[in-house]
Amino acid sequence: MTTETEGQAAGSGPSAAAADAAADASQAELATADALSYEQARAELVEVVQRLESGGSTLEESLTLWERGEELAGICRAWLEGARARLDAVLEEEEEEAAEEDEEER
């Protein structure tokens, strides 16, 4: 006969292994985060949010998902800021060209 503590320890083995595997997978994903496109990061972020909203995860799994979500949100933000900077540069260049044309016409 096992005690409650022994039963919990025995029962936590597989889930602890699964949590470790999830953490290892998360670390591997972190290593490749720089290679993600905006679309890839956004799609994964949607999956992370859906998993968090569905519940059923352990606290540790939820924290790992949250951390991954924060990282993915940062990747998306960086892509969007980069795109905004490129757009701003193009708009500024067009404004300068228009100003030069106006000066030439005078």
pLDDT digits (tens, 9 = 90+) for 5-62: 444 444 444 444 544 555 555 454 444 456 899 999 999 999 999 999 999 999 999 9
CA distance to 20, 30, 64, 70, 96, per residue, from 27 (Å): 10, 5, 10, 14, 46
Q: What is the pTM of this model?
A: 0.60
